[in-house]
Amino acid sequence: MAGRHRLALAAFAATGILATMAAAPATAEVSGPDVSSWQHIDGRGIDWHAVRASGNHFAMVKATEGLSYVNPYFVPDSLLMRAAGVARGTYHYARPALAPEPQAAMYAAVVLGQNGMLDLPPVLDMEDSGGLSPAALIDWTHRYLNTVQALTGRTPIIYTYPNFWRTAMADSPEFHRYPLWIADYRGNEGPEVPGGWPAWTFWQYTDSGRIPGIAAGTDINVYSGAQGDFARFANMPSFGSS
């Protein structure tokens, strides 16, 4: 019985992916929310078909934090968003007071890779210095990113805020090979880009957006095109794995 249910779910997900993503316009603005347990008010689920129908092509989902936290909604969100044809990014909230390699290993084990259909690259969420000096935090970040790339086979994305990067990371220019996801809510035409990055890849331009299918307010992000065609970047069905 359980095996038949899993096969039925897989068939349903594949049908939804191919039907919805094939219809996505290549030149339209590519946008999407990022969600965690906070968007599941009173345990309510997210209607990912409504999210996709409202024009959102991707979503970033919190997977893990530190060495002990796993988002309890990560697995159902991952399954349902794939069924709806929403490309999936997943992120780890860094706790630099703890060693980076075990955090990277836990994240990679929970997300079961980031190289399948509709998978964006893995994301490291950098908002907490853990009390480390900039030099120590820069070293910590290199070690985490190297480990995650070795485990997932993809170049990770870095998420941060301009002020955090300028201060906690001493505005380091050492990470340009990693795509940048930057949070900047000032309402400008574009975000402030720290660290001398040549371009931003995702911009989180609000932390109080509303999207059909999500009961709570949510961050909303837009893709710049810096990594080329979004379909290829997100391993959409017509391109296979990157």
Active site residues: 34, 125, 127
In 18-138, beta strands by DSSP E: 31-35, 58-65, 69-70, 87-93, 123-125
Pick the closest to residue 118 from 33, 18, 224 (CA basis): 18
Residues 6+ apart with CB under 8 A from 113: 119, 152, 153
Q: Which amino acid is at 8?
A: A
**DSSP secondary-structure letter at 43?**
G
User: Are the C-beta atoms of residues 184 and 191 closer than 8 Å to each other?
Assistant: yes
Pick the closest to residue 194 from 220, 228, 168 (CA basis): 168
CA distance 60 to 53: 17
Q: Which amino acid is at 205?
A: Y
